[in-house]
Structure 1
Amino acid sequence: MSAWSAGPLLDAADVTSGTRVLDVGTGPGVVSREAVRRGASVVAVDADPGMAAAARANVPGLDVREAVLPDLPLPDASFDAVVGNFVINHTSRPDEAVRQFARVLRPGGKLALTCWEMPPSGALSLVGEALEEAGVPVPDDIPTPPFAELGKRGPFAGLLREAGLTDARDAELRWTHLVDPEEWWTTGALARIGTNGVIVSRQDAPTIAKVKAAYDRLAARYATSDGRLALPANALIATGVR
């Protein structure tokens, strides 16, 4: 689902042929691959060794470094553009991470970040709605994510402004994600990824079955004629200049 925004993200950072770009939180290298296709010179960073290996495999010759944000072991003013596709909402210190992004930008360089819009809706809220309908509470030991408040227009741009970037602004990104309903249940609920996945993983089999029944009822709102789901994806994109 997040691959859709690779193009808009690079457009927002003015990434073209010859641009020296840093792709933070590259994951499997989707954004880096598109940047290379445009003729950019790319360095990619990810915290997970497995993801770094996947990016190297998916983008032959890609310079991939391993680093855990907000630590960014790269020289000051060394990039024309820094981009991050849905990585800032996974950092525990987003303010410090953005300061690091600004540090490695050359004067006049551009930062572009995407994050999921808060509160979650559409594609991101479906499993959570099913948990709520099934009466499964959020455990006390699961923290409120940092982007519960920052993932909104205004505060997101403000995060870049506070890091010293100029012309900071944010905008909405809207698209439709087509997916098989069972695939979405597996990736959103059973993969133990994200808050909802952790909550589902702690339940017994009868409770999971109850959540799945609620999911099926709620998912029917998005059903297409070919049996897939047309899920609305709601995100934000923020840009700023060094």
Structure 2
Amino acid sequence: MTTPFDDAERRIWSGRAEAYARTYARLCAHPVEALLDAAGVAPGTRVLDVGCGSGTVSVAAFARGADVYAADAEPGMAEATRRAVPGTEVRIARLPELPYADAHFDAVLANFVLNHVGRPLAALTELRRITRPGGRLALTIWRAPAAPGQTLIGRAAQAADLTRPAWLPALDPDDDFPRTPEGLAALLAAAGFLEATCSEVAWGHETGAEEWWAGAEQGIGAIGQVLNSRGPEGMVEARRAYDGLSAEFRTPSGQLVLPHVALLAAGTA
């Protein structure tokens, strides 16, 4: 069963695979090797990359010699992963219902996926179902409160008096959880994973000011919907604020270095 939050996510991401690949995919690639380490991905490991996006995780797992499978709710993302790792079985599927048998995978990887599901606990329970006993789940989400680099465009939108569109619901409070190491580890434990652990991963994402702005301008993510909520006039006002606020992150070369913090959690089925 999907929720209004899930339906909004499908609307947000529909047709945006290429825009994501050009903008935020590189940001989300930062913790991938640590994610694979946490899941014990090695030659011969049967891996599912759920919410595969542009295929970054699948490519990295394949490079380690793993037997890679992938799934994403957005057809454009699924196609991008097919191109990235030819021969990989990629399915169009959305959590919390995946088309795989019980105990099918040695490792399940979910890189910044749990942020985008309406029932996180149900999603994790489904991931435990398809992981074999003794197999590993490893996932990342964004920490809350967010790091300063992650909130830059949101601050610009706020300065322009842009607000969340009425059609874009927040996660139901009954389904939410603390976006902290303790909160995410507890959620994994509640889903039945053993030895659940979680730690923070912090880094400075180096990017151009235009590249960083472009993702949200093209409607990627909830912030992209906020940024586009009042048409061209609101966009111009937010861009003016963004140009001023981004100065605090600008290096002498003109690039931005944006602090980000993610949570990396893992557990055993």
What TM-score do the two structures reach when normalised by structure 1?
0.95
Q: How many residues align?
A: 241
Aligned-pair distance for 1:60? 1.4
Aligned partners of 1:79 and 1:104 also within 8 Å: yes
Partner of 1:164: 192
CA pair 64-204 structure 1, distance change in 2 beyond 3 A:
closer
Inter-partner Cα distance in structure 1 for 2:73 and 2:169: 21
Q: Which amino acid counterpart does residue 38 of structure 1 have in structure 2?
A: R
Matched-pair identity in %? 43
1:150 aligns with 2:178: yes
CA pair 97-16 structure 1, distance change in 2 beyond 3 A:
same
Q: Cα RMSD (Å) of the superposition?
A: 1.5
Partner of 1:52: 78
Aligned partners of 2:164 and 2:225 also within 8 Å: no
Partner of 2:13: none
Partner of 2:24: none
Partner of 1:120: 146
Aligned-pair distance for 1:182? 1.1
Task: Give a deviation string over 1:34-91, Cα, whole Å, max 9, x none.
Answer: 0010011111111111111110111111111111111111011111111100011101
Q: Which amino acid counterpart does residue 178 of structure 1 have in structure 2?
A: E
Q: 1:224 aligns with which of 241, 247, 251?
A: 251
Aligned partners of 1:9 and 1:113 also within 8 Å: yes
Task: Give a deviation string over 1:184-213, Cα, whole Å, max 9, x none.
Answer: 11112x111222211121213333222111
Q: Secondary structure at the match of 2:181?
A: coil
Partner of 1:73: 99
Inter-partner Cα distance in structure 1 for 2:72 and 2:163: 32
Inter-partner Cα distance in structure 1 for 2:133 and 2:82: 29
Q: Secondary structure at the match of 2:60?
A: helix
Partner of 1:107: 133
Q: Which amino acid counterpart does residue 159 of structure 1 have in structure 2?
A: L
What pairs with 1:164-183 in structure 2 (closer than 5 Å)? 164-183=192-211
1:203 aligns with 2:191: no
Aligned-pair distance for 1:150? 3.4
Aligned partners of 2:164 and 2:229 also within 8 Å: no
Q: Which amino acid counterpart does residue 26 of structure 1 have in structure 2?
A: C
